[in-house]
Amino acid sequence: MIRKSLFFGLFFSVLASCGDDEGQAYVHPTKIMQVKQVFSNGSVDVKNFTFKFGSLNDCQRITYDTNSTDNIIQNFIYNEQGVLEKAFAQNNRVYYFWLESGLVTKREEAGFPADLGEDVMARNIYIYNADKQLTGIDFYVRQPTSVDLVLLQRYVYEYDGHGNIVKLNYINPGSPQNNSYTLYTHDDKVNPYHNFEPKVNISAYNPYNKNNILTQKTYRASDPSTVLNEITYSYQYDEGGYPTYSLTTSSGSSPLQTYFTYQH
């Protein structure tokens, strides 16, 4: 069944089902079907997720509907073996993927329509540890006057024993004075995005964490006393440990309201 959920912040809130029979067994959500974000200025952003037939995790399509921009569709293309090969993004770019052991190890961005080679505008290299946790991303961009790709920024992730990112280091080879890092704390509940694939396309939702973020603080690396940004999350949960309500606040920003729809 489809159950609609309410959630403030970047996560979920499943509405109680008024017509449920007493004593009905709890059914764990299998998929996120829709995310509706309502911003403080009244603008609305809706993301609809469509998955491969018979798949619990592999995303086939994400459709964006907003009241400020045109409808946006992102399609993920799989080969006959079910391996992700490319994605057509909202800005008419094409993303090509390379996988090893089921993990995305490289993504290249080209024009639309385009092939690889000199059409590559950007490249991300993904690095994993023996536990298949993402430990680093190298971001390369094409220079305006050549076809060369230059390392622009590097992310380095550190995990705790529960499978959550506790520190993210931002390294800028060309401007080390801008290096920074973010520290995270988490709850011990279910992060519904954790099983979503491909994770590289929903990194803003923190899918690499097993649990949900409670706090995140970003500091300047050269001066740890300087807090660049701070975000806090508070939740209520259903009986299965899935967030049903979250209030997200950040420094200098108003709370963000988000409505979620799950498939059970």
Instruction: Return the pLDDT at 53.
Output: 62
Paired with 262 in beta bridges are 3, 32
Cα-Cα end-to-end distance for the chain = 5
Two tokens, residue 183: 């520290």
Instruction: Return the pLDDT at 118.
Output: 57
Q: What percent of the chain has pLDDT over 90?
A: 31
DSSP annotation string for 106-138: EEEEE-SS--SGGGEEEEEEEEE-TT--EEEEE
Q: Is 60 left (phi over 0), alpha (psi -120 to 50) or beta?
A: alpha
Instruction: Return the pLDDT at 178.
Output: 94
Reported confidence tier of residue 214, pLDDT bands at 50, 70, 90: very high
What are the CA-CA distances from residue 236 to residues 54, 140, 164, 197, 259 (Å)? 30, 40, 20, 26, 14
Two tokens, residue 17: 């089902």
Q: How many Å apart are CA 223 and CA 111, to the nearest integer?
A: 40
As a whole number, mean pLDDT of residues 100-110 equals 83
The tens digit of pLDDT for each residue in 174-187 reads: 999 999 999 999 99
Q: What is the CA radius of gyration of the chain?
A: 20
Query: b/e for 104-122, b at 16 or more Cβ within 10 A?
Result: beebbbbeeebeeeebbbb
Name the average pLDDT for the chain: 78
Ordered by start, the domain boundaries in the chain are 2-263
Instruction: Return the pLDDT at 212.
Output: 94
Give the residue, 176 or 244, on which the prediction is more confident.
176
pLDDT of residue 236 exceeding 70, the answer is: yes
Reported confidence tier of residue 54, pLDDT bands at 50, 70, 90: low
How far out from the chain centre does Cα 43 lie? Answer: 21
Report the CATH architecture of 2-263: Beta Barrel (2.40)
**Which letter does DSSP use for residue 177 in this model?**
G
**Amino acid letter for position 4:** K
**Amino acid letter for position 74:** Q
Predicted model pTM: 0.77
Instruction: Return the pLDDT at 230.
Output: 95
Residue with tokens 């401007």: 175
Residue with tokens 């975000």: 231
As a whole number, mean pLDDT of residues 213-224 equals 96
**Amino acid letter for position 105:** T
As a whole number, mean pLDDT of residues 67-77 equals 63
Which one of 83-92, 157-166, 228-237, 251-260 scores highest in mean pLDDT? Answer: 157-166
pLDDT of residue 232 exceeding 80, the answer is: yes
